[in-house]
Amino acid sequence: MRQYMTLPWWSWLLMGLGLALFIALVALSIRRNRGIKRSLFATPYVLWIIIFTVLPCLLIAYYSLTDASGNLTLDNFRTFWDSNHIMREQLRGVAGDEIAATVVRGSVNVDTLVYSLWMAFLCTAICLLLGYPAALFMADRNMKLGATLVVLFIIPMWMNFLLRTIAWMSLLEDSGLINSLLRSLGLGPVQLMYNQQAVLLGMVYNFLPFMVFPIYTSLNKLDPKLGEAAADLGCNPWRTLYKVTMPLSVPGVISGITMVFMPSVTTFFIPRVLGGGNTQMFGDLIESTFLFSGDWNLGSALSLIMMVLILISLSILRKADPNGEGGGIA
C-alpha cells in the first residue's frame, strides 16, 4: 500500500511555466498599454484555473493511464470493469492460465456505479416532483410569501453540509426525536437509519434547493402577459401550466436535474452517516480507493469516469439551455 505519492516532474514544470507566462503577460500588457487596464485584473483568474483546475485534471488523466511505476497501461480501467483483474493477472504469473481462468469477473465497481446512478435518479426524480411545485408557488406574483419562502430555502444552505446531514441523526436514530415520539404513542421504535431509505432522504434534503432555485429563476423570468394571453385564448390555469409555463421552464428544469444528479452520484458522506456503511456509492468507492487502499492510479481512473459523466451531463445542459438561462437566483 502506498501512503504517499509524488507529483511527476512535468507537473512542477507546468506550474513554473504557467507562473512565468502569467508574469510575462502582465508585464507586456502594462508596457503596451502604458498602465494597467481593467481587463488585466481578470488575469489572476486564468492562473487560478490553470493551477487548480487544468493541472489537477491532467494529473488525474496521467495517474489513470499509468501504473505504480509510471508506465502507461489500461489496467486501471480494466480493474474498473473487472475488480478481480489484478488478482487474475498475478495468479496467471504464478499458477498459469488454467488456474487464472477459474477466477470469475468481479463486478463490485460496476455494480457500485449502477447503484449510485439508480440512487441519483431516484433523488433527482423526487427533487423534481417536490421542487417544481415549490418553485411554482414561490414564483407566483400573487403570493406575498414568495420572497419569504426563498429566504427559508436559502437559510439552511448557510449551514455546513456535514452538519445538516448529522442533524438528521438526532431525528432518525433509535433514541431520536421520531422514535421517542412513537414510543410515547405506544407504537414502538422503528428502524429509520442505516438503510437505503435514510440515505435517499438525506440526499433529497441536501440537494432539493439545487433543484428549486434554477426552476424558480426560469419561472420568475417569465412574462406574466404570456399567462394572460393564454387565458384570453381560452386556456384554463391547468392548460396554461401545461402549454405555456412548463415548456418555457425547461431550461431551469434541465439545470436543476444536472445540479442534483451529478452531486448525488458522487456523494459519499451521506451514505456513511445515514447508511451506516451498509450502502456504498461511487463517491465512497473513490474515497476508499484513494485514502484506504492508497491506489491513486485506480482512484484516478474512477474519478476520470465520473468526469466523463459530468461532461456528458453538461453537454446535455448546453443543448437544452444554450444561453445559460436556467441557473442561479434572480
pLDDT tens for the chain, 330 residues long, are 444 566 677 777 777 777 777 777 767 766 666 655 555 666 677 777 777 888 888 889 999 999 888 888 888 998 898 888 777 777 777 777 777 677 777 888 889 999 998 999 999 999 999 999 988 888 877 777 767 777 887 887 788 888 888 888 888 888 888 888 888 888 778 888 888 889 999 999 999 999 998 999 888 888 878 877 877 777 787 888 788 888 888 888 988 888 898 888 888 888 888 887 777 888 888 988 988 888 889 999 999 998 888 788 778 767 766 665 554 444
Considering the domain boundaries, does residue 144 fall inside one? Answer: yes
What was the pLDDT predicted at 329? 43
Q: What is the structure's pLDDT at 38? A: 59
Instruction: Kindly state whether residue 302 falls inside one of the protein's structural domains.
Output: no
User: Residues 173, 235: one domain?
Assistant: yes
In a domain, 281, yes or no: yes
Which of 20, 35, 64 is where one domain is finished?
64
Q: Which three cell numbers stand for residue 82?
A: 473487472
Closest CA relative to residue 260, chosen from 208, 308, 218: 208
User: Which one, of 218, 12, 25, lies nearest residue 132 by Cα?
Assistant: 218
pLDDT at residue number 29: 67
**Rounded CA separation 286/300 (Å):** 8
User: Residue 298 class from Cβ within 10 Å (0-12 exposed, 13-18 middle, 19+ buried)?
Assistant: buried
75 located within any domain: no
How many domains does the structure of the chain reveal?
Answer: 2
Residues 152 and 289 grouped into a single domain: yes
Which are the contacts of 188, defined by CB distance < 8 A and separation ≥ 6?
A: 182
Most distant CA pair in the chain, distance: 81
Residue 35 lies in a domain: yes
282 and 302 Cβ atoms separated by less than 8 Å: yes
Whether 138 and 281 share a structural domain: yes
Length of the chain as a residue count:
330
The three-class DSSP label of residue 67 is coil
What are the cell numbers at 102?
Answer: 477459474
Per-residue pLDDT, 211? 92
The CA angle 52-66-77, to the nearest 5 degrees, is 95
Could you give phi then psi for residue 89, rounded to 5 degrees?
Answer: -65, -40
247/177 same-domain check: yes
* Backbone phi and psi for residue 159, each to the nearest 5 degrees, phi listed first: -80, 150
If asked whether residues 141 and 281 sit together in one domain, one would say yes
Contact residues for 62 (Cβ-Cβ < 8 A; gap 6+): 8, 300
- What is the torsion angle, in degrees rounded to the nearest 10, for the CA atoms of residue 38, residue 40, residue 42 and residue 43? 180
List the CATH number of the domain containing 284.
Answer: 1.10.3720.10
**Quick one: 22 and 146 in the same domain?**
no
**Is 3 in the same domain as 139?**
no
Residues 6+ positions from 120 with CB-CB distance below 8 Å: 260, 261, 262, 264, 265
Burial class (CB in 10 A: 0-12, 13-18, 19+), 96: exposed
Domain that holds residue 42: 1-64
Same domain, 287 and 165: yes
From CA 194, how far away is CA 274, in angstroms rounded? 5
Check whether residue 135 and residue 281 sit in a common domain: yes
Does residue 122 form part of some domain?
yes
Structural domain includes residue 159: yes
pLDDT at residue number 44: 72
Residue 152 inside a domain? The answer is: yes
3-state secondary structure of 152: helix
Same-domain pairing of 120 and 60? no
Q: Are residues 201 and 268 in the same domain?
A: yes
Q: Are 63 and 56 in contact (CB under 8 A)?
A: no
Q: What is the pLDDT of residue 36?
A: 56
So what's the pLDDT on residue 130?
Answer: 93
Q: Looking at the structure, tell me whether residues 129 and 224 fall in a common domain.
A: yes
